[in-house]
Amino acid sequence: MEEITIIVDDKMDGLRIDKALRDKVDLSRTKLQKLIAEGLVCVDDEPVKSNYKVKLDEEITVDLPEEVEYVVRPSKMDLDIVYEDDDIIVLNKEKGMIVHPTASTKELTLVEGVLYHCGKLSDVNGVLRPGVVHRIDKDTTGLIIMAKNNQAHEFLAEQLANHKMSRKYFVLVHGVIGHDHGTIDAPIGRDPYDRQKMAVTDKNSKDSITYFTVIERFENHSLIECSLKTGRTHQIRVHMEYIGFPVVNDPKYSFRKQKGDGQLLHAHQLTFVHPTTEESMTVNADLPEDFKRYLQELREEVGYNE
């Protein structure tokens, strides 16, 4: 799969994305609209609709799949379902599971298991992202909400865009944080030196705010709870590395010795307004066993148990 990256310039500013791209990529308008509908055109890592108007300095990525198109394969798998009704399903995602496929994905993804279980999901974000309202990283565990129909999807997506959906994470970081609470207000964009990573940067970035509270301190680590005002790619991981307390076992943003696979970051609480009842709901997910074991080892090092 080929990826094309374009930064919005003065001439493109304010144009519909399909029109803005017409002079930048050698594709017909029909092909562009098809890629947009399939969720393969993103602005700052988020898929957009064809009527989206681009803004100066935004980063557009266009994924050009091979001629053989990826087909989402509904597949039976063990799902940890925390809540489900006719409109939504909330799951506790395990480590190592990708949320949705891309044109180059070869392994099964969460949406394929959910699609098998539900039969149908919303198609707002295209054929490769059925039901996906928000994402969490492959090795991040915890809660993710998916929509079964377009009405529910749009209702939830609006909450997310307006910062009305609350997401809280337990995170184990290297280092002992001295203060009990903190706010990290630092813009995040693509790392100018490594396009596979995000970074705190003033270039082609977006405002990013993370709040944290220290839950427990150890000899050389801290357990914190993070909440997000914004939801940028890898936001917690980037922000914690930026202030000098990288997430434990983070293969991308921590240069410390790893002990296990994947970052110790768990989405433990999700609060939202239900799309049909319009009542506030809060769901919780307990820490995974490997996270618990790591904490127990740290407690034993300092001479006390839970």
Q: Which residues are catalytic?
A: 137
Give pairs for 109-117: CB < 8 Å, separation 24+: 110/144, 111/72, 111/146, 112/72, 112/73, 112/74, 112/75, 112/77, 113/75, 113/76, 113/77, 113/79, 114/79, 114/89, 114/146, 115/72, 115/74, 116/74, 116/75, 116/76, 116/77, 117/79, 117/81, 117/89
Nearest-Å Rg of the Cα atoms of the chain is: 20
> Is residue 231 within 8 Å of residue 160, measured between CB atoms?
yes
* Integer Cα distance of 37 and 21 in angstroms: 15
Paired tokens of 130: 């059925």
Q: Are strands 265-273 and 141-147 parallel, antiparallel or unpaired?
A: parallel
